[in-house]
Amino acid sequence: MKVLLLTDGIYPYTIGGMQKHSYYLAKFLAREGVILDVLIPTIPVETTAKLEDYLTLEEQKKINFIEINQPKVGYFPGHYIYESYKYSKNIYNQVIDHIDEYDFVYAQGFTAWKLLKERSDDIKRLPIGVNFHGLEMFQITDGIASKMEQFLFRSPARYCLNKADYAYSLGGKLTDIIDRETDGNTDILQTPIGIEDYWLENVHLNIERPRRFVFIGRYEKRKGIDLLNNVIEKNYSGDFYFDFIGPIPEEKRVDFPNVYYHGAIYEENRIIKILNQGDVLFCPSYSEGMPTVILEAMSRGLAVVATDVGAVNCLVSSQTGWLIEPGDQELLDKTFKECINIGEEELIDKKRAAHQLIKEEYTWTNIAKINKQAILSAVEE
């Protein structure tokens, strides 16, 4: 079986949830014996990272990376959508003359836009699946700029979802969104994301005193950092530690002892070291897909406070942490206090359940098998 995987970036050249997913999907499908052509944006000449260093020789034999020019048109409202269409057009021009080589197209985001638009008889016989991951354009958000951005994204995203043969869902509320936006006419393949097995190794379920909390992510309105800052400022008494990992501007930081800003960290061993000292991860987003940071934190034995958005409820429950409504400042405040005061035995139970859930259901070894079977089912229909 030969799969055409389309992506607008790939780890380690690009850091992001979709880009990491593309890397791991290719890597582990190759381990399952799938042959892949992976179309990626042209690699900058100045980069020192090499994909070959992240893949075994056997994986490299199964994966062929093809670089495609990714247009940049400058900033204006909707520029990313225009760039995405032009990139999808470059992809189309690259593959159309040998499209019959493939059994399935797996398209991340808008990458199959042009291919879907120009569906000839040859292309129609080839099943195409699209994955918009968090589908943030159809979720709630906060702020005028974010709402305008969502509005611009909805129409092209809805077009691709409806033109595709299959739409990927990470699970949870995302399945309902796809079903609603396609009127039930597009088949849904439900496949979550995963992490590598080494995240689960040498985990010790310690309880820190004072309790230690973690946030991982960049600053943007939908991540809910402003809500979290309000909670810290309201409840600060020195009886907890808080570690922030990610590029958060100085003006968006709170200035208290025991609140640490580590900046952007790309080395996983450093992130693991910080998580090993933590008790609870906070993820108070207005919208999400299935955040990798939640899987990573749970794999290291952290309980999680997260909002019930996207596929988060597949991971976070009363057994593994606290699932709250997005944008609810009062409830976030109440939950924060509970995290400080919860008994050690009860917190240990949540931490253990979080670790066990990832171990049993969310490693890439398991997820690759689910993806392969989903593709096989689509091809055989």
Give the per-residue SS3 of the chain. Answer: CEEEEECCCCCCCCCCHHHHHHHHHHHHHHHCCCEEEEEEECCCCCCCCCHHHHCCHHHHHHEEEEEECCCCCCCCCCHHHHHHHHHHHHHHHHHHHHHHHCCEEEEECCCCHHHHHCCCHHHHCCCEEEECCCCHHHCCCCCHHHHHHHHHHHHHHHHHHHHCCEEEECCCHHHHHHHHHCCCCCEEEECCCCECHHHHCCCCCCCCCCEEEEEECCCCHHHCHHHHHHHHHHHCCCCEEEEEECCCCHHHCCCCCCEEECCCCCCHHHHHHHHHCCCEEEECCCCCCCCHHHHHHHHCCCEEEEECCCCHHHCCCCCCEEEECCCCHHHHHHHHHHHHHCCHHHHHHHHHHHHHHHHHHCEHHHHHHHHHHHHHHHHHC
Q: Whole-model pTM?
A: 0.91
Q: pLDDT by residue (tens digit) across 14-62?
A: 877 889 999 999 999 999 999 999 999 998 877 777 888 899 999 999 9
- Domain 2-194+363-380: CATH architecture, name and number where available: 3-Layer(aba) Sandwich (3.40)
| CATH tag for 197-361 (out of 3.40.190.10, 3.30.420.40, 1.10.10.10, 3.40.50.2000) | 3.40.50.2000
So what's the pLDDT on residue 35? 97
User: Does 124 score more than 90 pLDDT?
Assistant: no
- What CA–CA distance (Å, rounded) separates 102 from 126? 7
Distance (Å, whole) CA 7 – CA 91: 10
Query: Does the pLDDT at position 135 exceed 90?
Result: yes
Round to the nearest angstrom and report the end-to-end CA distance of the chain.
Answer: 14
* Greatest distance between any 2 Cα atoms in the chain: 67
**pLDDT, tens digit, for every residue of 348-358?**
999 999 999 99
Other Cβ atoms closer than 10 A to 380:
8
Total Cβ atoms within 10 A of residue 220: 14
Asked whether the domain spanning 197-361 has the same topology as the one spanning 2-194+363-380, the reply is yes
Q: Is the pLDDT of residue 333 over 90?
A: yes
pLDDT at 141 over 90: no
Q: What is the pLDDT of residue 77?
A: 77
Domain extents in the chain: 2-194+363-380, 197-361
Lowest mean pLDDT among 70-79, 192-201, 225-234: 70-79
> What was the pLDDT predicted at 310?
95
Q: Is the pLDDT of residue 105 over 70?
A: yes
